[in-house]
Amino acid sequence: MRGNRMLLLSLIMGAMVTGLAIIFEWLLHYTEDLSVPEWLLWLFFFVITITSFYYATYFILIGRIRGIQQKIQKQGLINPNIKPSSAGNLADLEKKLQEWSEKQSALVEEMKGREQFRREYIGNVSHELKTPIFNIQGYIYTLLDGALKDEKVAKKFLKRAAKSVERMTQLVKDMDVLTKVESGEYDVQLRPVNVRNLLDDALEEIENLASKRQSKIKVNFFIEESVQVLCDAARLEQVLDNLLVNSIKYSAEGSLVIVTVSSLKDKVEFKIKDHGFGISEEDLPHIFERFYRVDKARSRDAGGTGLGLSIVKHIIERHGETIKVESTEGVGTEFTFTLKRI
C-alpha cells in the first residue's frame, strides 16, 4: 500500500514538472519581444515548481493522515469532527496520536501483567489443591488396602481426610470471595453500626478457638462504646474474624491478644495486637499478597489458605480506608485499620 502511494506521488510530481516545463518554454517564446529579464522567468518557474510540489505533498499527506484518523477513531480517542486541514488541527491530531500510542502501550503492558498474574494464580491454586488432594487419595488407598478393617486406624484416616476436605472447601470459598472483591461484585452496604456490637459478634465467632488454645482476648475502649461507624457489618466481621484468628493461631497457647478501639479525628481506629511469633522485615511487605505465607509449614498446619489477609485488605479498601501492619519477630504483630465515625 505504501509503495503504491509513493508511485502515485512520483507520477503526479513527474506530470507537474513536465507541465511546468512546457509552460515555461511557452513563456520564453511568448516573451521574446517583451523586455522581461530571463532570470525573472526562471525565478517565476522556480517559485511555481516549489509551490506546486509543496501543495501536492501536503494534500497527499493530509489524505494519509485522514486514513489513519479514521482507523483510530474507532478507539474513541479522536473527535470525528476534527479535520486535519490546518496546522492547529494537525498538532491536535499529533497529540491525539501520541495519546493513542501511549494508551496502546499501557494496554499491552497491562495484558502482560494479567497474563503473568494468571500464570502465577493458576500455579498457586494448583499447588494449594495438590497437597489435600494427594492426602485424601493416600488415605483412601490405605483404607482400601485393608486399614478399613481396623476401626481405630480407619477412624483416624477418615478424620484426616475430612480435615483435607475442609481445607479445600475453605480455599475454594476464599478464592470465590477474593475474585468477587477484586472484580467489584462483592457488594459493600455501608450503614451505621455500633462498635461494641461489631466487636461482640466477632469475639463470639472465635470463642471456641480461643478456648481451645486457652488464649485471652482483652478489649480496651478509649471511646464511648455507643459510638457508631459507617461500615458493612457482615464484611467487617469477616475482617475482625480473620485478624483475630491469625493472632490466636500464630501465637503460643495461652497468649494474650489485645484489641484497642480509639478515636482518630473523624474516624475510629482499631488495633489488634498479639504476642506471637512475629513477622520478619523481609516478609512484612508481602503479607497482603495472594497465597503468601510467612511460614508455609506452620500456615498449612494452622489451616490457612494464604488468601485471608488479601481479602481483609480488599474489604477495608472497599470501605475507603487502609490497613497497616507492624511486627517484630519473636515479639508480636499489630494490625491497624480505621472506619469512618458517624
The CATH architecture that domain 123-183 belongs to is Orthogonal Bundle (1.10)
pLDDT tens sequence across 7-18: 565 566 656 666
Q: Provide the pLDDT for residue 169.
A: 82
* 282 backbone dihedrals φ, ψ, rounded to 5°: -70, -40
**pLDDT tier at 298, thresholds 50, 70, 90:** very low
Enumerate the domain spans of the chain.
2-74, 123-183, 191-341
pLDDT tens sequence across 224-277: 988 999 999 988 998 999 999 999 999 999 999 999 999 988 999 999 999 998
111-135: average pLDDT: 73
pLDDT tens sequence across 188-199: 889 999 999 999
Residue range 191-341 forms a domain whose CATH class is: alpha beta
Q: Provide the pLDDT for residue 273.
A: 96
